[in-house]
């Protein structure tokens, strides 16, 4: 299973428009080669370098999606209407939706983690990353990761 973006290469710089310095749109994402038996997908976007990559203290969660139908192969840039059946959790700004990179200092890494699950999860009450991961436990068939990087001032 793989996840890609047409906006940036793996380990490449995330373009400004997908950050707090731009229009803060979610980048386009595409995936392929889901394992047999995939019933749904989940996506967690996180920054393990917060607040300072030289001395990280926490993982900052930027986006939480789950129950993405397995026939869906991509999310367009700035997705406003999620595929039918897709549910959103809450990020570390305590809201649903995408929140783009906005590092206070240094160049951070942003992990776009896609999970193939052997089940459709029940409706969870505004899950955060931890709640979603607990619900996914024992149901992950495969995981794919795309990493982007960003520092304020990057183009």
How does pLDDT run across 59-87, given as a tens digit for each residue?
999 999 999 999 999 999 999 999 999 99
The pTM assigned to this predicted structure is: 0.97
Q: Let me know: does 129 contact 61? Beta carbons within 8 Å.
A: yes
- Please check whether residue 97 lies inside any domain of the structure: yes
Give the closest residue to 77 by CA, choosing from 154, 1, 8: 8
- Please check whether residue 155 lies inside any domain of the structure: no
Tens digits of per-residue pLDDT, 105-153? 999 999 999 999 999 999 999 999 999 999 999 999 999 999 999 999 8
Q: What is the CATH number of the domain that holds 62?
A: 3.90.280.10
- Please check whether residue 89 lies inside any domain of the structure: yes
Residue 17 main-chain phi, psi, to 5 deg: -60, -20
Cβ-based neighbours of 54, under 8 Å, separated by 6 or more: 106
Provide the number of structural domains found in the chain.
1
């Amino acid at each position: 299973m793989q996840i890609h973006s047409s906006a940036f290469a793996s380990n490449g710089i995330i373009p400004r428009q997908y950050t707090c310095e731009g229009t803060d749109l979610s980048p386009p994402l595409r995936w392929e080669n889901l394992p047999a038996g995939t019933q749904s997908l989940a996506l967690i976007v996180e920054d393990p370098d917060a607040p300072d990559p030289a001395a990280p203290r926490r993982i900052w969660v930027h986006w939480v999606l789950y129950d993405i139908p397995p026939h869906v192969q991509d999310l367009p840039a700035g997705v406003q209407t999620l595929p039918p059946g897709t549910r959103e959790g809450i990020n570390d700004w305590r809201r649903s939706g995408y929140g783009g990179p906005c590092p206070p200092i240094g160049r951070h890494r942003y992990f776009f983690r896609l999970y193939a699950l052997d089940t459709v999860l029940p409706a969870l009450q505004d899950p955060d990353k931890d709640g979603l991961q607990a619900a996914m436990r024992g149901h992950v068939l495969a995981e794919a990761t795309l990493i982007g990087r960003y520092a304020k001032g990057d183009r």
